[in-house]
Amino acid sequence: MNEAVIDSPANTPETDSGEGKRRFVYNPNRVAHTLNKLGLGYFSPFARLIGKDEPAKQVREIANNTILPILAFSVFIGFWAVTARLVKTDSVQIPTPHQSWYALTGVAIPGLSHPFPESIEGLEAPYFVENEGLDPKSINGFSVAEEVSEGKYIESQQERVDKYLDRAREAEAEGDSAKAEKYRENAEMFASKSYQANKTFYDQIWISLLTILIGFSIATLVAVPLGVLCGISPKFNTAVNPLIQLFKPVSPLAWFPIVFVLTTWGIDTPPSDSIWQRALWTSAGVVMLCSLWPTLINTAVGVASVDQDHLNVAKVLKLGWFKRIWKIVLPASLPMIFTGLRLSIGVGWMVLIAADMMAQNQGLGKFVWDMYQNGDTMSTAQIIVAVFVIGAVGFFLDRIMLVFQRLVTFEEQNV
């Protein structure tokens, strides 16, 4: 919970009541507070520094917030580098930081020896040169290699079109206009084709994000109404609670075969070049089943603990059932719901990697699985890169949910 330290509104403004009326004055406290709210608490000392609010204290804070994490990260890299040298079996080793860097960029860090000396041999021209000096087996090198292939494809496509146009002309000369028409159609067909790209790492990040977006959205649509029902009706809660407790701890790996059957049965085979592959739905389904529970339970608790005063107001106003929920219960339990959603997206992202592996959805999980199977020296290093990216995306998703969570938490007195 370290954001509690960094982001806590401990530095809430005390003096802005007087200045509040003068709109165009830069109010460091207000800016800092907004930044805190947006989950960008790291930058609030900067905002205060600009506003000359206790500069010495802000500089100290910035130094702390910057130097300490960098220090810890350096210690981690050092530890990693040492471990990588120690942990080695006949066939595998933990990739070093340098190897991982190379696996991402395809270029060795200047001044250091090549991290994969044994793999250079297989990379003679022309393949290597075509990739502008990047190792084609690295993540970036592969993306570039894909562009090169696409360029080649377009050339060969033109050749095919020309060939059939020539044939059409020949047929015309022969006087066989039906055949000429057919060849012209063929040429058109070839011209309409596009390159069937291989998925690069960057495509796979997007597919993973899309998958979790779908899974998480469906989970929310199911969990919030169910949670509200559980919260307002103790009887309903008693009825379904055993089911919730039973399914909550189930692993994504166990859900997979069931979801696989469902998607196979319920979804028509999409065209091969469509992004909406069945595997994507299977993966999203597994994510949904696993990320449902935190939202459901938090919503139920939130709804059940709505202040009795609020409910009394609803009674006084003689609000109907639906209105009562919409106007009183839901707004009052939003902070809890969003806490649940934030937990859910965390669970979903974690589950997604396993789900992708099982369902063969072209996301990050599939990337990790394919690299694991490649058995090349560089593939483990690419898995390390993927680990960092998975972590970074997970962090990013969490931050987004944090902002939403903060926005619905009532702190009117500060705004």
Chain residues that interact with another protein, rule: CB under 8 A: 89-92, 118-119, 121-123, 127, 136-137, 142, 145, 153, 156-157, 160, 167, 170, 173-175, 179, 182, 186, 189-190, 193-194, 196, 198-199, 260, 264, 269, 271-273, 277-279, 357-358, 360, 362, 369-377, 379, 382
Report how far residue 234's alpha carbon sits from residue 239's, in angstroms, rounded to the nearest whole number.
9
Task: State the minimum distance, in angstroms, from the CB of residue 348 to another protein.
Answer: 21
Smallest separation (angstroms) from another protein to the CB of 369: 6
Query: How far apart (Å, rounded) are the C-alpha atoms in residues 357 and 376?
Result: 19
Closest among 231, 263, 262, 246 to 332, alpha carbons compared: 231
What's the DSSP call for residue 88?
Answer: B
Task: Considering the complex, state which of residue 219 and residue 386 has its C-beta at the smaller distance from another protein.
Answer: 386
Q: Are 340 and 223 in contact (CB under 8 A)?
A: yes
Nearest distance from C-beta of residue 174 to another protein, angstroms:
5
Please state the closest distance from residue 396 (CB atom) to another protein, in A: 26
Residue ranges of the alpha helices (H) in 192-271? Answer: 201-232, 234-247, 252-266
Contact 260, 359 (CB under 8 A): yes
Nearer CB in complex with another protein: 124/412: 124
Q: How far is the CB of 349 from another protein (least distance, A)?
A: 21
> Closer to another protein at the Cβ: 149 or 237?
149
Amino acid at 31: V
CB of 135 to another protein, least distance (A): 10
CB 147 within 8 A of CB 195: no
Conformational region of residue 88, where left means phi above 0, alpha means psi within -120 to 50, and beta covers everything else: beta
Answer whether 295's CB lies under 8 Å from 224's CB. Answer: yes
Cβ 218 to another protein shortest distance, Å? 21
d(CA 57, CA 371): 48
> Across the chain, how many H-helices and E-strands are there?
18, 0
Q: How far apart are CA 204 and CA 98, in angstroms?
A: 23
| Least separation in angstroms between CB 125 and another protein | 11
Say how many C-beta atoms besides its own lie within 10 A of residue 241's C-beta.
Answer: 14
Nearer to another protein, 342 or 366 (CB): 366
**Nearer to another protein (CB atom), residue 168 or residue 304:** 168
CA distance 15 to 64: 26
Q: Which is nearer to another protein, 119 or 414 (CB)?
A: 119
Q: Give the residue with the Cβ less far from another protein, 122 or 225.
A: 122
Closer by beta carbon to another protein, 163 or else 310: 163
**CB 90, min distance to another protein, A:** 5
End-to-end CA distance of the chain: 24
Cα 68 from Cα 79, distance rounded (Å): 16
Compute how many other C-beta atoms are within 10 angstroms of the C-beta atom of residue 55: 13
Look up residue 101 and give its two tokens: 């860097």
User: φ, ψ for residue 88 (rounded to 5)?
Assistant: -145, 130
Contact 180, 301 (CB under 8 A): no
Of the pair 175, 249, the CB lying nearest another protein is at 175
Residues 115 and 84: beta-carbon distance below 8 Å: no
Query: At its nearest, how many Å lie between another protein and the CB of residue 271?
Result: 6
Q: Minimal distance in Å, beta carbon 151 to another protein?
A: 13
Which residue number, 33 or 137, has a Cβ lying nearer to another protein? Answer: 137
